[in-house]
Chains A and B, each alone.
Chain A
């Protein structure tokens, strides 16, 4: 055939291939909304409708934080569907308000995150912003929220997010729902002590989260007398780990890893290949099935602190968070068909705070008054508040509200997370 025919045929083949490829993507089931409109709309035809409230929700659905952002977005969709089904919330004066959850994407990029937050605040006139799956994004948004005086709840872990860098005090408008690496470090010190180790090697990912893990873990462990034999970072996308050779040469007796999957899993595999017996402990970024699936057999024996939400059914009934765990995990697994995600839980808790606050707002407030009222509510009324991450106690001096007691120590055994309480160490 001549070259024109060749070109035409190849073009058709390529287009066909592209169509087929985009159709058979490697399976990540796109979550279909399991529609459940609540049957009863408010019976009285007289119910007064007030202005709609908008909540700006933006996790990092794409980019480096996608592992965290996707479950968070799923949760926002679940809650948005619930709100739509019930028609909104009713204020203390009986006036009903629709609640709209705007769902965006920070793309795990600080510039995009800032512009998304600004759009929410200025154009969409949201009453609160819930955004930022990872620390550097949250730091960027926190500045915007402080300046615009809009309550902002972050779903990332570093305490630096809620702390004003100049005064060291809490930023008035910023809160967070995810457990902190400082609390993780407390557990790591206890476990390393129980293991009888003396020197520690650190391997962490080269991101805000990884560095925060390293800073907190090394500070706590060094204060407890452990020697730092080796420390190095790796990129989230790395697949080769020359650092493992360094860990081997350093001769430490426990390795502390600060990363999220897949980097955490790949690093685990590399460490296990080189050193089959050395104890390896992680942070709470690996409290997800993805960690075990990616790491395969190497995941067995890994230890980490997690919220017990990952074993919701096995939590005793008298546990203060049992109801929250069950409600969250059922809603999540029904909607997505996947096992529960601790990161999704941050979306659940944060939106729960905002909706709780909105339910106390009388009708007729200006936007600025609404925002201030939501902020005040979160600061004063979130006490003994059971969430998926822990039981929160927010005060003006503590916009984080959790302690290390929100964690349970887990071990991976035969491919699942199993609680590993201190008595068995």
Chain B
């Protein structure tokens, strides 16, 4: 037994067996509830929607971690801020905005939400991380600072917005009612297409950024080896600022495209951030494709699992997955990179 668990190949084999067993279990439970293929398909489609958001959040984690080594627990709050700022700007009753038509208002709300959250991310880095790093704080201290940041941001959000959920109209209709598309027996809301579309655009943009621009290449250089990058003239502290701003932008994009579907609340960031973290772990915290695949897989597993058992198990499923990954394959499933999660 120890021999099997000792080797990586052994552990991978155990994992594969476990996954197959889980799939059989899911099918059994679904059979008890009369689930046919169309039900699984519906659960999977809904899961991919949530999973796309997890993927965006996971990308944010990977950006910051690969460049600075920090696990930014405030990532979920960036999503919340993106959603809430979008809500506030859209509903703002300022005289300057009234001549604008609803679609323009929505566009403005979206742009301001992303811009505002990016600014907040940058300020977080400058005011909380940068001074600490200058005093040679270890990475653990910086991680704890981000935990403090998430609590603070949530508290400020509570003061500004209160506890009630807010509403943003769906992008397609600009009304509360969203268009519902029926493909066979599947029901997909139009907002889901917006979410998938936005995520796809973000991924392409990110890939182009890392491949084609100097800033992107500098970020990648920092991720590969910070010391060497510094020797080549790349300023690591500026890269850190860029990483935080980029992660905040990613989170905000996720938040604003999710807002019409979710009734944003001040504390929505907590669970989203944690689940995005699990998705990032699936990619070893260092691989971008890994984070995206991790997010999608997590969304589907969570939703199908909750569908065949009971909705209350949603969060348990996610965190059991987290524990299993950290125990058996901390490097993540996809990608990898030179550093393992333990070294964080």
The residues of A with any CB-CB pair to B shorter than 8 Å are 7, 10-11, 13-14, 17-18, 21-22, 24-28, 62-63, 66-67, 206, 230, 232-235, 237-243, 245-246, 248-251, 262, 266, 273-274, 294, 296-298
Contact = CB atoms under 8 A, between A and B. Distances in A.
B34 A250 contact: yes
A26 B46 contact: no
Contact of B310 (A22, A232, A296): A232
B187 A242 contact: no
Contacts of A62: 162-163
B208 to A, nearest CB: 27
A371 B339 CA distance: 69
A237 B88 contact: no
Interface string B190-202: 0000000000000
A354 B68 CA distance: 62
Interface string B38-65: 0100110010011000000000000000
Contacts of B172: none
B147 to A, nearest CB: 21
A10 B122 contact: yes
B312 A242 contact: no
A274 B187 contact: yes
Contacts of A242: 43, 46, 303-304, 306-307, 311
Interface in B145-163: 156, 159-163
Contact of A66 (B122, B163, B167): B163
B161 A26 contact: yes
A298 B34 CA distance: 26
Nearest to A295: B176
Contacts of B140: none
Contacts of B72: none
Given A239-B262, A240-B303, A243-B307, 9 more contacts: A27-B91, A230-B33, A233-B312, A235-B311, A239-B261, A240-B46, A240-B50, A245-B307, A246-B33
Given A24-B93, A294-B167, A251 B311 contact: no
Contact of A18 (B35, B50, B160, B310): B160
Interface string B119-148: 110110011000000000000000000000
Given A24-B92, A242-B303, A66 B164 contact: yes
Given A27-B93, A232-B310, A237 B165 contact: yes
Contacts of A251: 34
A206 B312 CA distance: 8
Interface in B285-342: 303-304, 306-307, 310-312
Nearest to A63: B163
A196 B180 CA distance: 30
Nearest to B87: A26
Contacts of B75: none
Nearest to B189: A273
Contacts of A238: 311
Contacts of B46: 240, 242
A234 B119 CA distance: 36
A337 B161 CA distance: 21
Contact of A7 (B88, B126, B159, B161): B126
Contacts of B220: none
Nearest to A238: B311
A343 B34 CA distance: 39
A240 B263 CA distance: 11
Closest 4 CB pairs of A and B: A242-B307, A249-B34, A239-B262, A296-B176
5 contacts: A24-B88, A25-B162, A240-B49, A242-B311, A245-B39
B84 to A, nearest CB: 9
A241 B42 CA distance: 11
A239 B314 CA distance: 13
Contacts of B119: 10, 13-14
Nearest to A3: B126
A162 B166 CA distance: 35
B171 to A, nearest CB: 16
Nearest to B182: A273
B160 A25 contact: yes
Contact of B187 (A18, A239, A273): A273
A237 B43 contact: no
Interface in B211-240: none
Given A14-B119, A21-B160, A296-B177, A248 B39 contact: yes
Q: Choose among B34, B116, B160 the residue with the greatest number of A CB atoms under 10 Å from its CB.
A: B34
B109 to A, nearest CB: 12
B303 A297 contact: no
Nearest to B304: A242
Nearest to B42: A245
Interface string B96-117: 0000000000000000000010
Given A240-B50, A273-B187, A294-B167, A249 B310 contact: no
Nearest to A249: B34
B94 interface: yes
A235 B263 CA distance: 13
Contacts of B177: 296-298
B94 A24 contact: yes
